[in-house]
Amino acid sequence: MLTVRSIHTYYDSIHALKGVSIHVAEGEIVTLIGANGAGKTTLVHTICGLLKPSRGSIHFYDRPIHVLPPEKIVSLGIALVPEGRQIFSTLSVEVNLEMGAFLYRNENDYAKEMKERMFQRFPVLRKRRHQLAGTLSGGEQQMLAIARALMSKPRLLILDEPSMGLAPLIVAEIFKIIQELREQGTTVLLIEQNARSALAIADRGYVLETGKVVLEGTGEALLEHSEVQRAYLGRETSRNWEV
Amino acid sequence: MDFIQYLFSGLTVGAIYALVALGYNIIYNVTEIINFAQGEFVMLGGLLAVFYREVLHFPLAFAFLASVVTVGFVGYFFERFVIRYAREQAVLSLIIITIAFSIVLKGSAMLFWGKDPYTLEPFTQGEPWIIFGAALQRQSLWVFLTGTAIVVGLSLFFSRSYYGKAMCACADNPVAARMVGIPVRKMIMLSFVLSAAIGAAGGVAITPLSLMEYDRGALLGLKGFGAAVLGGLGHFWGALVAGLFLGIAESMCAGYLSSGYKDAVALVALLLVLFVRPQGFFGNAEVGSIKRF
């Protein structure tokens, strides 16, 4: 459904993406791992239209989207759960959700219905519906960010570092939610530094290093790959310590 | 009763400061730009109403409306064809552009209307009311009603309507707003139209009381800015309270000290606030430290 073909993107004057190609098929969980500064977020922002690639193309269901503004891309069915959550912290939880359905503002009960669905999926949000989003805990904010993205009924959900800054228990919960979403038919592109958890639930994965894809394969294959283990899973180090 | 009299005139002029401050706040909330052409919108509103009423002989209510719409259109033009095409999109450069635009508006107004002050008939005719021995002009009540109606209307707009909430979202986090599909650019345009229209409404309301001329905008804009900062940039109720406070302080100063110093009151208040409590009465220091301006 999503095909990224050798894109180059400059972030400020840094050549952040140097010919990246990835694709995501319907119903998959695809993960993108890599160290800080590898270009993961730049790639996400390029897909979502916040940055424009200087070369290359991005197609969504065979439609070129790298020329479209972000609001147009959202309306085609791509939603982003951004890095650092980026909720509207001075607005209430409820309004945050409503904003996720902004594109459907003219459909009478759409926002109401979707809000109800989100409250069912994330009961804690119902409890906090009138609170300012900035007063939620980190895990709750992450759920709100996911719920906000789901409000537009995306076909492809992109999550940028959803585990960042969260306690392990919460991270496990977030990953469980991601798997459930896939079972319900949402395709997921998951960007993570937490490579082990991400690869464990992913069908396929890409490893990004200084703006290039250096490895790709199924989740299992990458988990077993010696280079991935050395660089991202810390296997080597722990072995050294054990010896 | 001098005190009551000063209070009335202070509240009247304060309501106008509040309206100007609201205009600043709307644009600031969505873009972080301080639009120094805000005062000119007030001037333009007053003079255009006179034009529609005296030259084109519109009914008064209609002249009011036409003036508000026209100035709203000026706001649209300003955003669409000036701000949007600024080569340097840094907030500070945009603020300087608003100063340039205010000079253009003032100059055009002078060419069109000349340097004479114009007056407009009051919205309703009649003798002033005498309350506790002080005279209250009927028009003062209109000014006050206009101000209150706009504050209430804006509060409802921003808390109830989808567009209003989306504008708040743009202010809160423009990048996230784009990511959920809110057309931030359109919201910015809307904020300029809204601010211009509100300024114009204030201008029309005050013209019957204090006349209007081409160079009134700068001082009104400055005092409105004082009120906006005093109330905490971006806070609607803060703007209202601070505007009224400034108006009353000014009027008391003119009454009990010397009317020569009255224009200094707003500026002294502004300085004091900046020294002592830079986030304003209602502002949040934490939010203030994150914002660029």
Contact A86 B169 (CB under 8 A): no
Q: Does A147 touch chain B (CB under 8 A)?
A: no
pLDDT of residue A241: 47
CA distance A221 to chain B (A): 33
Going through A78-186 in order, the beta strands assigned E by DSSP cover 78-81, 156-160
Amino acid identity, position A13 = S
Nearest residue to B195 (alpha-carbon basis) of B29, B65, B26, B7: B26
Tokens 């873009």 — which residue? B31
A25 contacts A199 by C-beta, under 8 angstroms: no
Domains and CATH numbers, chain A: 2-86+154-242 (3.40.50.300)
**Rounded CA separation B51/B199 (Å):** 17
Distance, in angstroms, between B69 CA and closest chain A CA?
Answer: 25
Q: How far apart, in whole angstroms, are the C-alpha atoms of residue B203 and residue B186?
A: 26
**Contact check, Cβ <8 Å, B179/A74:** yes
Give the separation between CA B67 and CA A164, rounded to whole angstroms: 53
The CA distance from A204 to the nearest CA of chain B, in Å, is 25
* pLDDT digit string (tens) for chain A, length 243 residues: 999 999 999 887 889 899 999 999 999 999 999 888 888 999 999 999 989 999 999 999 999 999 999 889 999 999 999 988 899 988 899 999 999 999 888 887 898 999 999 999 999 999 999 998 988 999 999 999 999 999 999 999 999 999 888 888 989 999 999 999 999 889 999 999 888 889 999 999 999 998 999 999 998 888 888 888 877 776 554 444 443
Q: How many Å apart are CA A146 and CA B110, to the nearest integer?
A: 55
Q: How far is A69 from chain B (nearest CA, A)?
A: 9
Q: What backbone torsions phi and psi does residue A34 show, to the nearest 5 degrees?
A: 160, 160
**Residue A20: what pLDDT?**
93
Nearest CA in chain A to B166: A99
**Residue B124 and residue B209 in contact, taking contact as beta carbons nearer than 8 Å:** no
In a mutational test of the A interface, the residue from B157, B161, B180 whose CB has the highest number of chain A CBs within 10 Å is B180
Residue B284: what pLDDT?
59
| Per-residue confidence (pLDDT) for residue A194, from 0 to 100 | 84
Q: pLDDT digit string (tens) for B184-236?
A: 888 999 999 999 999 999 999 999 988 999 999 989 999 999 999 888 887 78
User: Quick check: A39 contacting B, CB < 8 Å?
Assistant: no
Task: List chain A residues with CB under 8 Å of B180.
Answer: 74, 79, 99-100, 102, 148-149, 151-152
Considering only the beta carbons, identify the residue of B168, B172, B179 that sits closest to A82. B179
Which pair of tokens denotes residue B133? 């021995």
**DSSP H or E segment with residue A188:** strand A187-192
CB < 8 Å to B178, chain A? 50, 70-71
Which residues from chain B sit within 8 angstroms of residue A70, using beta carbons?
178-179, 181
DSSP collapsed to 3 states, B247-274: HHHHHHHHHHHCHHHHHHHHHHHHHHHH
Q: Which residue type does A231 have?
A: A
Rounded average pLDDT over B9-29: 90
For A114-146, letters b (16+ CB in 10 Å) and e give bbeebbebbeebeebbeebbeebeebbbbbbbb
- The answer to whether the Cβ–Cβ distance between A148 and B180 falls below 8 Å is yes
Burial of residue B42, with CB atoms counted within 10 A of its CB: 0-12 exposed, 13-18 middle, 19 or more buried:
buried
Non-local (6+) Cβ contacts of B203 within 8 A are: B41, B42, B43, B44, B45, B46, B47, B49, B67, B71, B212
**Contact call for residues A31 and A213 (beta carbons, < 8 A):** no
CA distance B74 to B81: 10
Which residues from B are below 8 Å from A151, CB to CB?
Answer: 180
CB-CB: which of A75, A82, A91 is closest to B181?
A75
Residue A15 near chain B (CB below 8 Å):
no
**CA-based end-to-end distance of chain B:** 43
One-letter amino acid for residue A227 of the chain: E
The DSSP letter of residue A92 is B
Contact residues for B233 (Cβ-Cβ < 8 A; gap 6+): B24, B25, B28, B280, B283
Per the CB < 8 A criterion, the answer to whether A19 and A212 are in contact is yes
Burial class (CB in 10 A: 0-12, 13-18, 19+), B258: exposed
- pLDDT score for B232: 85
Instruction: Map tokens 């922002």 to a residue.
Output: A45
> Is 50 exceeded by the pLDDT of residue B289?
no
User: What is the set of domains in chain B, with CATH numbers?
Assistant: 2-124+138-287 (1.10.3470)
Write the pLDDT tens digit of every residue in B240-265: 899 999 999 999 998 888 888 888 88
Where b means 16+ CB within 10 Å and e means fewer, A179-218 reads eebbeeebbbbbbbebbebbbebbbbbbbbbebebebbbe
**Start-to-end CA span in chain A (Å):** 47
Under 8 Å between Cβ of B39 and B224 = yes
Give the model confidence (pLDDT) of B100-141 as tens digits.
Answer: 999 999 999 999 999 999 999 888 888 888 888 888 888 999
The verdict on a CB contact (< 8 Å) between B179 and A88 is no
Cβ contact (<8 Å) for A86 and B179? yes
| A88 Cβ contact partners less than 8 Å away, ≥ 6 residues apart | A95, A96, A99, A133, B168, B169, B172, B173, B176, B177
Both tokens of B164, joined, read: 């209003």
**A110: contact with B, CB 8 A cutoff:** no
- CA distances to A19, B18, B184, B246 from B11, rounded to whole Å, are 64, 10, 36, 9
Looking at the predicted structure, is the pLDDT value of residue B277 above 80? no
Whole-number pLDDT of residue A242: 44
**ipTM of this predicted complex?**
0.84
The C-alpha atoms of residue A80 and residue B217 are separated, in whole angstroms, by: 45
